[in-house]
Every structure is written in structure tokens, then in C-alpha cells.
Structure 1
């Protein structure tokens, strides 16, 4: 999550203003045009509406946007290399504005529309699209005894990416590894990251390609709270879902590679506190998966627990809207109190979307942290 303490303003100062504690909240947006070196070269004007950003933590390309620019604004834009960086600006009680970048976007070829002048609707993608579109033109080999992080960084660098923020890991690839011709570099990187139980790669608001060790949600700290209290910015109309049909309670994952001894990990949910456990359900529903390789038995066991935890059907899902907030990013842990539906718990945010317009709403999709 982005830092809320900015300059002379503390986190509490900013939260109070975001939640309109003083009764007034003023928000506006700016669209910075950056060249291929990410140097600001100008600002763009957009339509008053129909501009949005979506962040889906479960997607390959996690941050996408739709922007509507007046055509006359775009005459000097290099569509192949320039980037757009929307900026969220919040007016503080002393009249000054503080800001947060909302992402860095590459631009696709736009659609032209006539609406009291010619406008261009531009679909935009965060820089991970570079990895998604860049594919190996030969079989790609990684030698045994290469550090996982070195192998990942080499692939990133081969795609021209230098802004990397991946936590170090000492794991070594134990056998020669190969990726087929035509495999996207994004797919290869995410496979390598999964083998050391890291998150999939994502790009932060400053353009850094980011990944870190996966931590079970129950072991993470709350990053922000939304409560229906005097400072509430949550709208009515939230939706709560719980679908327990065919939820697995046993997971078997094998790592099979002809050059290594096979590894198997089994995890059984037999907890009395879980309504879908083998004990409470009275039957076993097995999820079996096979993977090509993994670093060690310990990592495979952790990976199996991760799969069991992340099996999508075991989550209670909650959808709600708030005022626009600038600081959300990848898989944030939120504490949500929504009295009308008797919700008071921690959730993991899997997706959020904002309309870039003062007074608009921000939508949140979250899944409840369940002990397994």
C-alpha cells in the first residue's frame, strides 16, 4: 500500500482529510506524459468522465486503464514509447495539494470518437505488457546451479527492464531448466517465482517490477480499515457472497521431473473450526495438481498450503464501494466493518477500480481471510 504520510503531513492528517473529517474533501487528477526514459515532458487534458483505472491482483497484467483525450492533445505523443502517469491530488486544510501516482501506462492505438469535437479513447496497460508480448524466439535454457533471482533478473533485463524490486532469495535451480519457443517472458518469470513461493510479478506506481515472498493472509498485518462509523466513506449497497459447493478439503501436489526424484506434498483440512473440513463435511474432496519442478520439499509444502489457502471457492467474498482512495495496490489486507451485513473482519483485496472523476466511487472486491 502506498504511504499516506507525505511531506509535512502525518498519516493521521491525511486519513482525516481523505475521510472528510473537516466536512470538506477536494480531489482532482492530473495526467503526466512521460517519454520512454520516464521523464515528464508534458501534461494531457482528458474528458470530464469515462476515465478509469482497474487493478486486478489475480490477472497477468494487473493494472489497466481507459482514458479519453481530446485529439488535439495527442499530436506530439509517441504512441510506441511514451507513457501516461495519472496523478491523484488531495487538497489539505491549509490549501496545499498532496499527490500520489496511480500507475504508469503504455498506450494502445486509440479509438476515435466524435462528441462535440474529436476524442480518442485509449486503452492502457502497465509495463508488464512488455513481458507478456515478448516471447522466446528459441528454446530458452537455464543452467542448473543458477540462483532463481539471477535467472529472473536476466529475463527481465533481456526485455529491456532495469527497474526491479524483487526480494533476494538464495534458492538455486537444481536442474537444467527449459522454456519452449514462444513462451512469454511474463509466464516464465511467474513460473520461476512460484517455484520459490513468491508472489507473481507486478508493477508499482513508479514502474518497478515487484515481487516478494508469499505470506499467508492470516500472518499479515492490517494495512487499512474501512468502518461504517462517523468517518465512514463507505456507500450502502455492499454485497456478501459465500459459495461452499465442491470446496476441496484435501490437496495433493506432486513435482515430477525426469532428472530429479519426485516430490509429493499432501495437506488435509481436518480442522474442527472449518465448516468444509473432512470432519465437518463427512467426506473428502481432493484437489490434485502436478507441477514440473520446485526448489525443495519445504517450498513444495508451503506451496501446497498456499494453494489450499487460495482455492477461490473457499473464500467469503465481499464487494463494496467507497469514496476515491489513492493508496491501494497489490493484495492489500483490509479490515472492514460493515454493520448492515454484520461484517467485521480482515479481507484480502483482489481487485479495485476507480473512476477518475471528483465525486466518483471506488469499487473494491475482497476475499475473507479464513483459517484452514
Structure 2
């Protein structure tokens, strides 16, 4: 489960407040101004509106927008903003000895752009600021010479060294005992984001992301099917799900025949055709009553047996589709990156585990939080 306990409050108390078990939840928002080293400077009082978006499939995963009254005290080139959701949590009759308090949920540390200043009718000047998490630092910082990680280097130590060289010292990296089997290098001009993610991909880690406190996080890849559920949403008496839920499963263009071939200058060309004629598969030639052929694919293979196995693998991979579900809830500021959610919604007959690939909400009382989740289906 996602860690709900915070600020001396129990997970049960926080969950009850989020689900409004004891009445409408009360939320406020805070915006801390940080310096270029992520050190606190002051709390801002000139933010008029804001929103935060997390897209797990994007290069820069967390983004924000701030409408700010420009009072001349923010250095847009070096300062950063760290927004929070503040949730008033009452004492719970279900938690003996509980006391009321405020649960704080940090939403990220954001670099600021320098947009135009706009004068308003009341004489104030505002800026509408696009902001990006610290992944932007790694994307902007590029190596000026060929960068080499020598054989025998620990992968995560190498990742940490790149992060530190970019000024990112707040790191939460899962250790590994794996080392590079040979030297690996990158051309001048390669971004440090590319180097970090190449190293992580080599040991089957997720790409790097930044959490609500601004820490760089690296974790080994785990199949969502084998992970425990992080949070459950169901439309019951404590539901925070809004009624507009959309489910999409587009099978229209999924192929059911594949042609794979070799083109050897010094040998006999080979060809393999694989057809999905499985009656239990909804996209098979049998079920659909027609053939949908994928574009032919050229590969390298030493013999017909290998080519046939490659064709089967390609067919398997291209027969995987995602069921996508989009839904909205009240603001639930507990989510991080690639959370596994159990989503149960009776009207659409949904009761499955999904991987959350995106979420977003405006930082205002009564706003809706948008969630995008998906589930891999093998056809």
C-alpha cells in the first residue's frame, strides 16, 4: 500500500479524511520557494493558481503550472517551487487515542521558466509559469567530451556519479551488485539523462524519476502482475470516484498474420508466415473471419527454425494491447510513479488491477483529480 501515515497521523486516519468518512475533507495548499540547492527560502503568498501533472511515460515525468503575481522577489533562473497539499485530518473514532492534525503531501520540486510579464486591469503584473521536475536538469546538462564508464564499475554507483556531476545530490537509488562487463562510452553532446537511463536499462531498472520531495529515484523493473496493490478504488459507500469513467480497448487494427523474412546477400533468403488461428483469441482469423496482415518485417536469422521462432515472438509481442481506463476522483495527493491500483467500478463491470501511468489535478478546493491507468491484455 502507499504510505499514508505522516506528520504523526496514522494511515487509517489519513485514509478516512481522504475518503471523507467523517464529513467533507478540508484541503489547503502551500508553495515553498527553494534555492538552486533545494534549500527553503520562504513560503510564497503570491501564487494565484497552480496544477500538477505526472506522466510516467514521458521523459520529464512531473510538470506544473503556476500563475504568479510578479512582485520581483523570485529569481526565475535559479529558484524552485515545491507545492504541497495540506489535508486537515480529524481524530477518528476508529483509531483509539488518535488526535487531529494536518497531513502534508509534497508534490514535487519544479524548475521555473521565464514567461512574459502580463499587466492586468487592477494594475498587478502576473506570470503564467510552466515548470518542470529536476529531470530537466539532466536533459539540459550534456557531456562535453566522450564519457566513459569503465568495465567493472557498479551500475548504480555510475548512475550516482552522473547525477552528482549534474548537481543532483538528493538520491534514492536501489543498490545492485551488477557491474559493467566492458567499457561503455557516449559521444560528446549526449545528455546526462540519456546516460543515466541507458545504465538503468542495462540492469532492467525503470527509467529515473523524481518524487514529491525532489529525490531522484531508481528502482528495478517489476512486472505489475507480480506487484502488490498500492491502493484500491471502488465505488462503494466510501467511494471518491466520480461517475464519468471511460474504458478503451481498441482491437480494430491488431494483426492476425505476420510475414518475417531474411535477405542474405550470400545465402538463400528465408521466409516465415505465422497466422493466429486460435479460436479462443478474439483477434484470430477464425474469430474475426478475415485476415489482417502486419507489414512484413526483415530480420537476421541463421536458419528456418530460428526465423520461425522469431516470427512467433513478434506475433506474441504485437498481439499485446492495453486496456486503458480514465477516471476522476476527489484530490488524492498520495500517488507517486507507476502505482498499481485495484479499480472496481460496477457500471462497467471493472474489477482488475491496473498500472497508473498518469495523474493530474488543479491545486484548488473542490478540484477533480484525473487518473489514467492501463492493463496489458494478451490476445
Residue in structure 2 matching 1:316, options 315, 323, 337? 323
Q: 1:279 to 1:57 in 2, by over 3 A?
A: farther
- What is the CA–CA distance in structure 1 between the aligned matches of 2:376 and 2:12, rounded to whole Å? 26
Tell me the CA shift for residue 8 of structure 1: 3.6
Q: Name the residue aligned to 1:82.
A: 79
Residue in structure 1 matching 2:206, options 199, 218, 233? 199
Q: Name the residue aligned to 2:19.
A: 19
Confirm whether residue 134 of structure 1 aligns to residue 141 of structure 2.
Answer: yes
Tell me the CA shift for residue 287 of structure 1: 10
Q: 1:351 to 1:190 in 2, by over 3 A?
A: same
Q: Which structure 1 residue ranges, 5 or more long, are not aligned?
A: 252-268, 291-304
Report Cα offsets for 1:315-344 as digits up to 9, x if no partner: 100001100111111000011111121111
- What is the CA–CA distance in structure 1 between the aligned matches of 2:33 and 2:137, rounded to whole Å? 19
Q: Which structure 2 residue ranges, 5 or more long, are not aligned?
A: 92-99, 259-275, 300-312
Structure 1 moving runs of 4+ over 4 Å:
245-251, 269-290
- What is the CA–CA distance in structure 2 between the aligned matches of 1:250 and 1:178, rounded to whole Å? 40
Coordinate RMSD, CA, aligned? 3.0
Q: Name the residue aligned to 1:113.
A: 118
Q: What SS does the corresponding residue of 1:80 show, helix, strand or coil? A: coil
- What is the CA–CA distance in structure 2 between the aligned matches of 1:235 and 1:288, rounded to whole Å? 45
- What is the CA–CA distance in structure 1 between the aligned matches of 2:211 and 2:296, rounded to whole Å? 33
Tell me the CA shift for residue 60 of structure 1: 0.8
Q: 1:272 to 1:345 in 2, by over 3 A?
A: farther
Q: What SS does the corresponding residue of 2:355 show, helix, strand or coil? A: strand
- What is the CA–CA distance in structure 1 between the aligned matches of 2:73 and 2:83, rounded to whole Å? 18
Q: Name the residue aligned to 2:361.
A: 354
Q: What SS does the corresponding residue of 1:315 show, helix, strand or coil? A: strand
Larger Rg: 2
Confirm whether residue 104 of structure 1 aligns to residue 109 of structure 2.
Answer: yes
Provide TM-score, normalisation by structure 1. Answer: 0.81
Q: Please say if residues 109 and 212 of structure 2, whose CA atoms lie closer than 8 Å, have aligned partners that are also in contact.
A: yes
Q: Name the residue aligned to 2:88.
A: 91
Tell me the CA shift for residue 232 of structure 1: 1.0
Provide TM-score, normalisation by structure 2. Answer: 0.80
Q: What SS does the corresponding residue of 1:87 show, helix, strand or coil? A: strand
- What is the CA–CA distance in structure 1 between the aligned matches of 2:52 and 2:228, rounded to whole Å? 26
- What is the CA–CA distance in structure 1 between the aligned matches of 2:156 and 2:279, rounded to whole Å? 40
Residue in structure 2 matching 1:326, options 322, 333, 337? 333
Q: 1:331 to 1:289 in 2, by over 3 A?
A: farther
Aligned length: 336
Residue in structure 1 matching 2:197, options 190, 194, 213? 190
Tell me the CA shift for residue 86 of structure 1: 0.3
